[in-house]
Amino acid sequence: MREQAGRSMESSIYAFVKRYSWRQQLIILGMSAVLLPLNYVTLELPKTIVNRALGENATPHYMGYNFDRLNLLWLLCGLFLAAVVVSGGLKYIVNVYAGIVSERMLRRLRYQLYEHMLRFPLAQFRRTSQGEIVQMINAETEPLGGFVAEAVSTPGLQGGTLLTTLVFIFVQNPILGMAAIALYPLQIYLIPKLQRQVNQLGKLRVQQVRRNAERISETVQGARDIHANDGTRYERARMAQQLGEVFWIRFDIYKKKFLIKFLNNFMAQFGPFLFYSVGGYLVLQGSITLGALVAIVSAHKDISAPWKELLAFYQGAYDVKIKYEQVVTQFMPPDLRRASRLDGDANERLKIETNLKVSKLSLQDENGDVLLENIDLEVELPTRLAVIGPAGSGKEDLILTLAGLHVPTTGKVTIGGRDLEELPEAVLGRAIGFIGSQPYIFAGTIYRNLVYGLMHEPVAPRPNVDEEAYKRDLSESRLSGNTTLDVEADWLGFDELGLTKPAQRRAEVMRALDLALLSDDVYRLGLRGRVGKALSPESVERILEARRLVEERLNQDPKLRRLIERFDQDRYNDNATLAENLLFGTLRGDDFDADHLTQYPYVLETLARTGLDKELMSVGLKIAETMVELFADLPPDHDYYRQFSFIAADDLPYYRALVSRAQPGRLDKLRRADQERLLMLPFKLVETRHRLGLLTEDLKAKVVAARHDFREHLPERLIDRVDFFDPDRLNEASSVQDNIIFGRIALGQAGAQQRIGQLIADIIDELELKPFIIEIGLEAQVGVSGSRLPVAQRQKLAIARAILKRPEMLIVADATGPLDIGEQPQVRDNILKEFEGRTVVWALHQHEWARDFEHVAVMDHGRLRAFGGYDEVMAKIEGPSAAPTGEAANDRADELGNANQSDAAPVAEAADRASHAAEEGEPGGSTQSGEKTSGTARAADSKEQRRREGVPASPAE
């Protein structure tokens, strides 16, 4: 694969096909060539059967032998059957083989595109949209695969057939041969041209239809005003005109489309016309025999089919060629990074020592705008280097270049004499750690994301490997030019860090979490995580112990008691789902979901027996109505479906139809399937959370009654499936927290989460359960691009990831920005302390922080404005611009708006503060606001500081 990535992509699809599949193409061609005579035989034999075995004047001999007619019939039929079977079987093989070839080529092409994408300079991702890239790799390559399968065989076979027949005709008579192909040039010229026009018109039609759609929706939205202004006549006229447009386009399409058809037919028939006229003339003249003419006419019939195929192929090939070129050009930007970036020697190690040297470094973006200009800088390593400057000063670009992520336009960056540009990622990406602002978090668990920095290559083969299947996958990968690295293998490079034992690894992960102040967050996720089955008896015992302690504390403190609704056999729990209330437990199994409850006939029976079904069905209908209304405009992938909806996005159309069809009073008239779909909905209802006001006291009482009935009659086979709430046992499907409190935290009680959280935290500390719960939390899913984690947690996760990786040099963009103001300094200190003795380069927002760095580089408009120790540099840049800028004043004004409308600090005081701020801040003017972010940050910071210290923002007048 190494050399694979080194190659650039073929510039045309033919070159691509030739390079990677010429052998396979020959095989396809060969097999197809064998098929031809077989096909011929299957056409020929029926004729022979009729003529020789059945016909009036039949002569029952075949291949030189004489038979009696019946035997000949059997023989010929047998041969026919054999020919059909063999040719069918061969066709099957050819098709499958061609399919495999095209799929391999497609896989190779997609993989190559993906690999090229990984070599894009980061700027390229700004030039091309994500959607475009996805579309190109996935969808636009699709037709190319189909083409590959017939790239050689179609022109080869159809062309061959055509040619043979033509030769036959020419041999009979050259003049008639000329006649047969007389119109071909015209056809080749004319038909594609017309076809292109038809395609153009088709596009036009689509546009027009879209315009119609706009008009219609405008009418829908503006209905009120159309009526109020008596605009219906005008709107109708406009609509009529637009429909007319579509009509005329269609009219043109029909004319051209059928002209093509006419021409094709005409040209096909023009041959026979010439044969009969010219040929007839020749026969009458005696130049050729009648037999030959008949043979030519029937031969001509055989060439029209391959000719059509060839024409179609020719047209298709043109499209495919263009498409391929379009896609490939997109993936070969001029500044594509060298293939050796991805595949260079991984065994090399970059020593972060002697010095970091930036010489004559300039960087331009894709528009030629200068981001960095002529920067020279040298520091001895290891060191701490702070880069400061306002936003847009180039400090982020500088550190990205230091991390080897930006390619310098001119100049270079060297570490210990090694040019970063020359080093493969296998070396750079391990020696250098990078924490950016807005780091990307990958879908999966928190743990996966934490160890992402260690997953450079497989360190141990996958366990329990199915040799057969694995070998097959591997050889297929090779045949398609894909990498042979096994994604299922163990990729965790802990050994490299000297962490060989599970306990050491665990401890290190915990330490990284602690340093990034992420432990508490993960702990909370752990509390929300499911207990699952895989708990040691000891852990179970300790959670139950925690449960007992909670009960004790609750009994001591009635105020706390109010915040938890515990599970009680005889009471409806308003903070649990209706399903949990009915079962007084949960269903065992990994995918327990209230949705599945109606799949159990026994559940339905219980509902029917207790008379709950009708009521729940009408509750279900009301829920469906509300959901259909609430989620009408949300796109199907919106997170709200997961968080809030009773109905999955895919099912929404079904329920929409159901809601409009169902009549509230007569739900029993619905089909059974519909009834069950309605019954499903209330099961997820949590009264205090959803506030739909659908659960009456009466209904709740009935559910509790049904609960007892459910348990009493529970059939043998279901006993193991239901996990009842039991004070002395854990519930697998519930979260750790719910298991500890044996109930639910009451929703809608101020501070309930915090206070109960505190209670649990105390007890967990007492029992030393915290690491165990953090480990459950590490398995929490973070959602697509980490969407389930708040921004601050994503940032901390990236910090922990960088710490765990233990790079020799850490490069940090404003990594603490999204964190809580109170946590920022601590995280910074933790990082600096952790990297004591190693190199840290940090682009800082807060200038004061630079005090802790040996070197400070001040960036301004892409240039290095000052460089040196903190005091030295500050002396150079501080001065007239020390006063807060206009933005600080705006900030205050904001505060005023805030106070004015809401938090209601005394309006007068706030106005006073704001006006004062405006006075002292005005000279800078708001025009600078864009560039002076750092000034703002500082101002905001000091504002915050004053607030914390309780000092009023402005001295009393």
Binding site for other proteins (CB under 8 A): 626, 629-635, 638-640, 643-644, 688-693, 747-751, 820-821, 893-906, 909-912, 914-915, 918-919, 944, 947-948, 950
Residue 730 pairs in a beta bridge with none
Decide if 424 contacts 346 (C-beta within 8 A): yes
Between residues 42 and 437, which has the closer beta carbon with respect to other proteins? 437
Between residues 878 and 919, which has the closer beta carbon with respect to other proteins? 919
> What are the structure tokens assigned to 236, written together?
């109708």
Between residues 836 and 903, which has the closer beta carbon with respect to other proteins? 903
> What are the structure tokens assigned to 454, written together?
């260690």
Decide if 518 contacts 790 (C-beta within 8 A): no
Residues 6+ apart with CB under 8 A from 250: 205
CA 892 and chain centroid, separation:
42
Q: Dihedral of CA 447/452/458/459: which sign?
A: negative
Q: What are phi and psi of 564, to 5 degrees?
A: -125, 130
Between residues 116 and 788, which has the closer beta carbon with respect to other proteins? 788
Between residues 703 and 819, which has the closer beta carbon with respect to other proteins? 819
Closest of 458, 432, 336 to residue 5, by C-alpha: 336
Closest of 106, 79, 87 to residue 31, by C-alpha: 87
Between residues 661 and 947, which has the closer beta carbon with respect to other proteins? 947
Between residues 150 and 895, which has the closer beta carbon with respect to other proteins? 895
Between residues 90 and 747, which has the closer beta carbon with respect to other proteins? 747
Q: How far apart are CB 765 and other proteins at their closest, in Å?
A: 25
Between residues 244 and 790, which has the closer beta carbon with respect to other proteins? 790
Q: How far apart are CB 644 and other proteins at their closest, in Å?
A: 6
Beta strands in 383-467 (DSSP E): 384-388, 410-415, 418-419, 432-435
Q: How far apart are CB 781 and other proteins at their closest, in Å?
A: 18
Q: How far apart are CB 792 and other proteins at their closest, in Å?
A: 11
Q: How far apart are CB 823 and other proteins at their closest, in Å?
A: 11
Q: How far apart are CB 622 and other proteins at their closest, in Å?
A: 9
> What are the structure tokens assigned to 182, written together?
């007389």
Between residues 264 and 688, which has the closer beta carbon with respect to other proteins? 688
Q: How far apart are CB 559 and other proteins at their closest, in Å?
A: 9
d(CA 499, CA 598): 50
Q: How far apart are CB 647 and other proteins at their closest, in Å?
A: 13
Q: What are phi and psi of 362, to 5 degrees?
A: -130, 150
Residues 6+ apart with CB under 8 A from 347: none
Q: How far apart are CB 528 and other proteins at their closest, in Å?
A: 16
Closest of 876, 869, 799 to residue 384, by C-alpha: 869
Q: How far apart are CB 790 and other proteins at their closest, in Å?
A: 8
Decide if 610 contacts 602 (C-beta within 8 A): no
Strands 384-388, 585-587: pairing is: unpaired
Closest of 620, 601, 614, 597 to residue 685, by C-alpha: 620
d(CA 664, CA 647): 19
Q: How far apart are CB 222 and other proteins at their closest, in Å?
A: 15
Residue linked to tokens 């299947």: 469
d(CA 420, CA 938): 34
Decide if 793 contacts 521 (C-beta within 8 A): yes
Crossing angle for the helix pair 612-630 and 672-680, to the nearest 10 degrees: 70
- Residue 536 CB coordination number (10 Å): 9
Q: How far apart are CB 560 and other proteins at their closest, in Å?
A: 13
Between residues 398 and 914, which has the closer beta carbon with respect to other proteins? 914
Q: How far apart are CB 741 and other proteins at their closest, in Å?
A: 19
Between residues 552 and 944, which has the closer beta carbon with respect to other proteins? 944
Q: How far apart are CB 915 and other proteins at their closest, in Å?
A: 5
CA distances from 690 to 585, 644, 645 (A): 21, 9, 10
d(CA 374, CA 390): 19
Q: How far apart are CB 753 and other proteins at their closest, in Å?
A: 10
Q: What are phi and psi of 380, to 5 degrees?
A: -85, 150
- Residue 481 CB coordination number (10 Å): 19
CA distances from 204 to 198, 259, 323, 801 (A): 10, 19, 21, 53
> What are the structure tokens assigned to 644, written together?
């809030």
Between residues 539 and 900, which has the closer beta carbon with respect to other proteins? 900
Residues 6+ apart with CB under 8 A from 927: 886
Between residues 123 and 911, which has the closer beta carbon with respect to other proteins? 911
Between residues 371 and 910, which has the closer beta carbon with respect to other proteins? 910
Between residues 315 and 900, which has the closer beta carbon with respect to other proteins? 900
d(CA 99, CA 224): 57
Q: How far apart are CB 746 and other proteins at their closest, in Å?
A: 9
Crossing angle for the helix pair 290-330 and 142-150, to the nearest 10 degrees: 140
Decide if 428 contacts 342 (C-beta within 8 A): no
Q: Is residue 735 helix, strand or coil? A: strand
